[in-house]
A and B are shown apart, each in its own frame.
Chain A
Amino acid sequence: MIRFLAGRLLGLVAVLFVTSLVVFGSVHLAPGDPVSFLLHGRPATPEAVEALRSRYHLDAPLPVQYAEWLGSALRGDFGVSAQYHQDVSSLISSRLPGTLLLIGYAALLVTLLGVAAGIGAALRPGLLDRTVLIGTGVATATPAFVGAIVLVAVFSVRLGWFPGPGGTPSGLPERLYHLTLPAFALALSFAGLLARVTRSAMLDELGRDHVEVARARGIAGRTVVRRHVLRNALGPVVTVGGTMFAGLLISTSIVETAFNVSGLGSLLVQSVTAKDFAVVQAITLLSVAAFAVVNVVVDLLAPLIDPRLSLRGEGTS
């Protein structure tokens, strides 16, 4: 168990190290002089050039530059946004709540829709099962931006139930109302996948001997499903569900852009367009770090939720 834990944490550190190297090195990969790249068409006053030189320690050797850059990043200092003339870290923290709210909303939808559809399909073969299969097949093949357009076309333009892209809602209820279509667009393909995983995990368990025995003992069908099938099927569902949170984080840039939601993802896309490289670096670094951390946490939680995983591990080692 300790070896497993240590291995995972070591892997995480390696990922974070390599990510920081890639993000740092990308400035130097750019064609031409780093200063002109970082300025990108903005007036190259001697002060601006000097500020960038000292900020990125461009006169020092590369390893020193990297160490200085990483040191400030670890202290939460990512420099100043060229577009907003604001601290990158305060810019990010002002945009973070919007993104977290959207991800949380989408995660809730993914869990509810995905698990419900998966259970329904497993327990009711026939029409419902086929409907869920076809529905999830289309859902998983629908990229988030396509889902966004279709949702806006139907529920905002045609039916007028939800507001279209843009707008500045105030107060939590109104924000959630505005985030409903973005959350569905984000959740769609993930819910499709979770429904598939839930369905096959349930079917696996339903076919097992212990379920047959429980049924033969005269335990009510509902109780069998809840206590003997669902509980055992939960392992893979949680593993997949957990890794999907990380996927949601990556897809937000697309959905936020499509719906004009003010969040980290839309900030990233705008910053790439505006050549605001300090912001791009910071958001990329933080996103990959969050992605990696979530994946490791899910790995570590899996044996807690499904003890058979760790038992199997100890039994054979």
Chain B
Amino acid sequence: MTSPITAAHASLAPPRRPGLRGLRLLGQGPLFTVSVAVLAVLVLVAVFAPVIAPYDPEALDLSAGLAGTSGDHLLGTDQSGRDILSRLIHGARTGLLGPLLVIGVSTAVGTVLGAAAAWRGGWTDTFLSRSMDLVFAFPGLLLAILLVAVAGSGMAAPVTAMAVAYTPYVGRLVRGIARQEMARPYIESYRVQGWSGWTICVRHLLPNIAPTVFAQSAMNFGYALMDLAALSFLGFGVQPPAADWGAMINDGQAAVLQGAMLPALAPSACIVLAVVAFGIVGEGLADRIARRER
């Protein structure tokens, strides 16, 4: 399986899904700073949502359904008369928490598996790499849908499925860079000094590959946000009436046909903005690391 042809092919192998690669060219100047600022604001909004939001995101006011923008409701109201701005602000919470869980778990597990495969080599490597290939072959969205069919709607099934689906991405990345890193003389010299494999791994190898993994995680965060929003849009993730961007778009579909755009377009804009920002930050970080190593 690791014939040169697969190796040659692997170098051309695309990311399995639309990537944000080319954002690199946009992510070097002020856009990087702007994106970091956008993400910082997003996190603050999510943390302080109850303080910032002008209204209760679930407070119904059926007499004020689909009101346009006004001083009272800056972004208008949805069909049930709920304040859209407040729902967007509260939606940032589930919008960030879900991907945070997915990325946290998949990065932790993927790093352990990838580092173990690289460090042990031989059969361990073959077994772990093949297992990751197998998980890779099962598209995350389908796994999530299957899990929802079994366990029911809610955040648990989609987050679990996505964490599983993202693990091989991290595992492959870590295995690759760990192997490159291990070829460097400093690892050998620690070995000669009699350090145990575990110590070298944890104290020296992992800190050196951590920045690259972190940059990739920032990009994956955007993907995970998209995937979880898609599942909420399908009605499998965050359940109404809770405020969530994906669920809000699903809710707002009918309003769009009546000519009221904001209930669906405002959360759409939030999702795209967040994904672009994560992409630019991830690319920018990866670029900075590459330049430092050169």
Interface residues of A (CB under 8 A from B): 1, 3-4, 7, 11, 14-15, 18-19, 22-23, 26-27, 29-31, 37, 133-134, 136-146, 149-150, 152-153, 156-157, 164-165, 189-190, 192-193, 196-197, 199-200, 235-236, 239-240, 243, 246-247, 250-251, 253-254, 257-258, 268-269, 271-273, 275, 277, 280, 284, 287-288, 291-292, 295, 299, 302-303, 309-310, 312-313, 315-317
Contact = CB atoms under 8 A, between A and B. Distances in A.
Contact of B18 (A26, A190, A302): A190
A212 B256 CA distance: 54
Given A11-B1, A243-B16, A303-B5, A272 B141 contact: no
Given A165-B257, A309-B5, 9 more contacts: A26-B149, A133-B22, A141-B20, A146-B268, A236-B12, A247-B18, A272-B149, A302-B12, A303-B5
Interface string B18-42: 1111110110000000000000000
Interface in B257-294: 257, 259, 261, 264-265, 268, 271-272, 275-276, 279
Interface in B115-160: 130, 133-134, 137-139, 141-142, 145-151
Contacts of A153: 256, 261, 264-265
A145 B141 CA distance: 14
Contacts of B4: 312-313, 315-317
Contacts of A150: 265, 268
B203 interface: no
B145 A143 contact: no
A254 B253 contact: no
A130 B6 CA distance: 34
Given A142-B272, A149-B268, A313 B3 contact: yes
B168 interface: no
Nearest to B139: A250
Interface residues of B, number: 60
B22 A146 contact: no
A7 B3 contact: yes
Contact of A240 (B3, B14, B229): B14
A157 B257 contact: yes
Given A142-B272, A284-B142, A299-B9, A157 B259 contact: yes
A294 to B, nearest CB: 11
B134 A14 contact: yes
Contacts of B13: 239
B234 A269 contact: yes
B265 A149 contact: yes
B88 interface: no
Nearest to A250: B139
A152 B148 contact: no
B110 interface: no
A280 B145 contact: yes
A312 B147 CA distance: 42
B146 A138 contact: no
Contacts of B20: 137, 140-141
Nearest to A18: B134
19 contacts: A14-B130, A23-B146, A26-B150, A30-B151, A149-B249, A152-B257, A156-B257, A193-B18, A247-B16, A247-B18, A251-B141, A253-B141, A253-B145, A253-B234, A268-B145, A272-B149, A277-B149, A291-B139, A303-B9
A272 B141 CA distance: 13
Contacts of A312: 4-5, 8
Given A22-B146, A280-B145, A295-B137, A138 B272 contact: yes
A312 B8 CA distance: 7
Contacts of A149: 249, 252-253, 256, 264-265, 268
Given A137-B20, A144-B230, A291 B137 contact: yes
B268 A280 contact: no
B256 to A, nearest CB: 5
Contacts of A271: 149
B256 A152 contact: yes
Specify which of A29, A31, A146, A236 lies most central, judged by the most chain B CB atoms within 10 Å of its CB. Answer: A146
Contact of B226 (A19, A143, A240, A313): A143
Contacts of A302: 9, 12
Contact of B6 (A4, A142, A144): A4
B230 A143 contact: yes
A230 B127 CA distance: 40
A235 B5 CA distance: 14
A280 B234 contact: no
A19 B137 contact: yes
Contacts of B259: 157
A136 to B, nearest CB: 6
Contact of B3 (A165, A192, A250, A317): A317
A165 B222 CA distance: 28
Interface in B231-269: 233-236, 246, 249, 252-253, 256-257, 259, 261, 264-265, 268
A25 B265 CA distance: 40
